[in-house]
Amino acid sequence: MFENLSERLERSFKILKGQGKITEINVAETLKEVRRALLDADVNYKTAKEFTETVKEKALGQDVLNAVKPEQMMVKIVHDELATLMGGSAAEFNIKGNPAIILMSGLQGSGKTTFSGKLANMLKSKRGKNPLLVAGDVYRPAAIEQLKVLGEQIGVSVYAEEDNKNPVKIAQNAIQYARQHGKDLIIIDTAGRLAIDEKMMNEIESIKKAVNPQEILFVVDSMTGQDAVNTAKEFNQRLDFNGVVLTKLDGDTRGGAALSIRSVVDKPIKFVGTGEKLDAIDVFHPERMADRILGMGDIVSLVEKAQEQYDEEEARRLQKKIAKNQFDFNDFIAQIQQIKKMGNLKDLASMIPGVGKQIKDLDIDDDAFKGIEAIIRSMTPQERTNPEILNGSRRARIAKGSGTNVQEVNKLLKQFDETRKMMRMMTTGGGRQAMRNMGR
């Protein structure tokens, strides 16, 4: 799986071998190769472009870690961005409800029927569910037969009405049947066509309206690359589905669908099919998929360790500076960068116990640091290390340079001074014990 992509990415990292650090020039060269590799893997053009832009920004904004070589750092950044591109963490799958209703959608041949069987089997054996498979494809008698054979293999009942040509009615009847027979989950397999077709879309839309499913899954053959992404887009416009199932990942897939679907359709991949057998199903984990694509897990963990260590060293260094009252604007801006690196301010604040609910409706501006940063960046290195020298004319110059005004500069300097005092109090006097306790 994705062999070619893995190989090409590995080759592009080699460009950084022997380089002292990541620079605008060598990162551009590397990322040109990364982008080509992605495009050759049939990744959506816009997705590939945005991906390399993000990686570039991250690579140039990284702290330089002595223990890590530039090519190793690049592996780690690309790895993390690949995982993010595919959705970050594994998506929820909702099977609450009695019966919980799962509606399958997708083109003919995508692997919908096979997947319905695999899912029923998995939920039965791993989640203790008592599922019912519903044959919603009323056009192909062979499809009903196929589902029945699958049901038999996994010991799951199949609901079908051979003479009924109305799939909406069949789905409604199946829910009745499930209630009467103690089935707590139903999986409705629907008719697919070889290409998008208005009648098929109307039909599945009507089923959705009639049964109000907990989950609508869109099944797509990963071998079809960009076509898969386009089909996903059209199904999503009509159905607003909850998640994607990528089948046939065991084949010679280039990776385009897996890597583009999330960013194009904005819906998570929830499951993958990795073979024709009924146990060839996996919950999709973006992180693990990124591991597999890059196959460089040891480098990724090496960089992670170095980053942790760097943070600790940095914290110790900072504490010393604070104690000696040497905390300056360089440290201040580094702290702002740290906070920004951790993500969205509102998310961060909401993780503080007891704060979560209160700030939910507050309007926290993620650009809150922008003015502050602009002011600090307009200071000379000397001014940053010795804020004491900031007299009136320097302040006026900084205000002009940063596009702010003298009042704002004064406000920041005052805040900085107070912060410094407070920090010193915390690390020296009685605050020290409090800080220690906080660390526990």
User: Residues in the site for ligand GDP, rule: CB under 6 A?
Assistant: 106, 108-114, 192, 247-248, 250-251, 273-276, 280
Residue 138 · residue 191 · CB < 8 Å: yes
Q: Closer CB to ligand GDP, residue 185 or residue 281?
A: 281
Residue 292 · residue 61 · CB < 8 Å: no
Angle between helices 3-13 and 24-40 (to 10 degrees): 170
CA distance 259 to 45: 11
Cis peptide before 70 (omega within 30 of 0): no
| 385 labelled ligand-binding | no
| 191 labelled ligand-binding | yes
CB 81, min distance to ligand GDP, A = 27
CA distance 214 to 7: 40
CB 361, min distance to ligand GDP, A = 45
The alpha carbon of residue 208 and the mean position of all alpha carbons in its chain are separated, in whole angstroms, by: 27
Residue 280 · residue 306 · CB < 8 Å: no
Q: Closer CB to ligand GDP, residue 162 or residue 347?
A: 162
Q: Closer CB to ligand GDP, residue 123 or residue 223?
A: 223
| 250 labelled ligand-binding | yes
CB 100, min distance to ligand GDP, A = 21
Q: Is 103 strand, coil or helix?
A: strand
CA distance 40 to 256: 8
Q: Closer CB to ligand GDP, residue 156 or residue 296?
A: 156
Tell me the DSSP string of 267-335.
Answer: --EEEEE-SSSTT-EEE--HHHHHHHHH--HHHHHHHHHHHHHHHHHHHHHHHHHHHTT---HHHHHHH
CA distance 143 to 138: 8
| 415 labelled ligand-binding | no
CB 285, min distance to ligand GDP, A = 17
Q: Closer CB to ligand GDP, residue 276 or residue 311?
A: 276
52-67 burial, b if ≥16 CB within 10 A, otherwise e?
beebbebbeebeebee
Q: Is 135 strand, coil or helix?
A: strand
Q: Closer CB to ligand GDP, residue 13 or residue 271?
A: 271
C-alpha to C-alpha distances, 190 to 133, 139, 197, 216, 315, nearest whole angstrom: 11, 10, 14, 11, 58
| 135 labelled ligand-binding | no
DSSP 428: S
Q: Closer CB to ligand GDP, residue 236 or residue 247?
A: 247
Q: Tokens in use for 275?
A: 């073979």
CA distance 237 to 214: 18
CA distance 412 to 417: 8
Q: Closer CB to ligand GDP, residue 276 or residue 418?
A: 276
Q: For the chain, how many residues are written?
A: 440
Closest CA to 261 of 213, 202, 218: 218
CB 289, min distance to ligand GDP, A = 15
| 12 labelled ligand-binding | no
| 112 labelled ligand-binding | yes
Type of residue numbered 321: K
| 113 labelled ligand-binding | yes
Q: Closer CB to ligand GDP, residue 114 or residue 260?
A: 114
Q: Closer CB to ligand GDP, residue 136 or residue 387?
A: 136
| 431 labelled ligand-binding | no
**Which residue sits closest to ligand GDP, CB atoms considered?**
273
CB 129, min distance to ligand GDP, A = 21
- Detail the residues annotated as belonging to a binding site: 106-113, 189-193, 247-250
- Detail the residues annotated as belonging to a binding site for GTP: 106-113, 189-193, 247-250
